[in-house]
Amino acid sequence: MQQRFLAILQSLAKTPAVSGLWLAHSDEPLTLQWLIDACRPSWRAHHQVIKRIELGSPKQWQEVINELGSLSLFDDASAIIVTGKHKPDAAALAELEQFAQDIKDGQSRNHLIWLLPKQDKKAQATKAVKLFETHGTLIDANVYNENQRQEILAFKAQELSLSLDRGAWQVLMSHTEHDLLNAYQTLWRLSFNHTTPNQSTPTAIDADTLMTLLTDGGSFSVFDLSDALIQQNATQSLKILHHLKQTDTAPSIILWAINKDVQAVAGLQAGKNPQSLGIWRNKEHSYHTLSHHLSPMMINQLLSEIYAIDKSIKGLSDDNTWRQFERVVMMICGVGLLG
């Protein structure tokens, strides 16, 4: 049968007994490692001895099969992690099918998990993969989109005793777009700084807390840029922007902060409540003043500029990102554009 990667992780958190044939495939090494890490407590709880076999040729499947049949019901079971692209031949497939039948009949408690790179539809139609799907479990551990990435990261955040609010998730996903490892490392740093071992309730993380982590170490942060922008202080805004560039602040973080302010002004012009837009009470007057200084047409132009910057950050255009930032800063501050 086929199983979703996240569903497998969630089920393994309850440390069930796991046995039989598993095949997991992914071009994301981190998900395959997480799968093994999630299996370990179950293996330990049910006295399964972990063994690794790297396939150097199809003939080595016989070594795998020998391991599967080497222990009796009265011995500890094995958890065999197999890596390598070499597929079993017809004879080995027949023995693997017999192993699957032994599992079904209660004659074995061994667990075989084969880790492979991403398998396309053609590869999944081969006899070897079909055998694991029919008589065991086929796990697609690839991450196909940002929604899947966030779902997996939310599960890992829960493991780290973290609870990110909507704004924090927006920052994290924007800052680490398509990079699962970078996002997880950020969560780990948050956990290291804001949680204690074995705490009973998750630590709430908001966007400001996350942004502080992402921009620490500099004398100016994107929060300072935001304050200067909503005051329409062009000189200070450019000074902070140049400092952020020199201190290698990620452009995605700067863009997030600018976009947040422009979206807040657009919301005020649409009659929305400041609190619903995430505007702090002590900054309401500044945002309202800015909303009166920027026309709806100017807001639309700013949103177009922000979209263009997003494209350049992602490498989808040849525009100079920092020059684009300067242009947006000057537009928000109501100053004639630089030549």
Query: And the tokens for 304?
Result: 């177009």
Residue 109 has pLDDT above 60, yes or no: yes
Of the candidates 332, 244, 326, the one whose C-alpha atom is nearest the C-alpha of residue 293 is 332
Nearest to 80 by CA among 45, 127, 39: 39
Residue-level pLDDT at 338: 38
Question: Does 55 have pLDDT greater than 60?
Answer: yes
Other residues' Cβ atoms within 10 Å of the Cβ of residue 122:
7
* Cα gap 132→124, rounded to integer Å: 10
Three-state secondary structure along 225-238?
HHHHHHCCCHHHHH
DSSP H/E element including 24: strand 20-25
**pLDDT at position 139, please?**
97
Q: Which residues have CB under 8 Å from 246's CB, separation 6+?
A: none
Percent of the chain past pLDDT 70, that is, above it, reads 96
Is 60 exceeded by the pLDDT of residue 14?
yes
Can you give the pTM of this predicted structure?
Answer: 0.69
Distance CA(80)–CA(306), nearest Å, equals 51
The single residue listed with the structure tokens 């700084």 is 193
The token pair that represents 76 in the structure block:
């500890």
Using CA atoms in the order 236, 238, 239, 242, what is the torsion angle rounded to 10 degrees?
160
Please provide the average confidence, as pLDDT, over all residues in the chain: 90
Amino acid letter, 251? P
pLDDT tens profile 166-221? 999 988 988 887 889 889 988 988 998 898 877 889 999 998 888 888 766 556 77
pLDDT of residue 148: 94
Confidence at residue 339, expressed as pLDDT on a 0 to 100 scale: 36
Residue 119 pLDDT class (50, 70, 90 cuts): very high
State residue 221's pLDDT score: 79
As given in the structure block, the two tokens for residue 150 are: 């966030």
Residue 6 has pLDDT above 70, yes or no: yes
Distance CA 135, CA 140 (A): 16
What pLDDT shows up at residue 214? Answer: 79
End-to-end, the C-alpha distance of the chain in Å comes to: 62
Q: All domains of the chain, ordered by start, with CATH?
A: 2-140 (3.40.50.300), 146-212 (1.10.8), 217-333 (1.20.272.10)
Of 73-77, 224-228, 258-262, 298-302, least confident by mean pLDDT is: 73-77
CA separation, residue 41 to residues 46, 74, 144, 159, 246 (Å):
9, 21, 28, 14, 46
φ, ψ for residue 224, nearest 5 deg: -65, -40
Q: Which residues pair with 163 in a beta bridge?
A: 204
Rounded to 5, what percent of the chain is helix, strand, coil? 60, 10, 30
Task: Compute the average pLDDT of residues 138-145.
Answer: 95
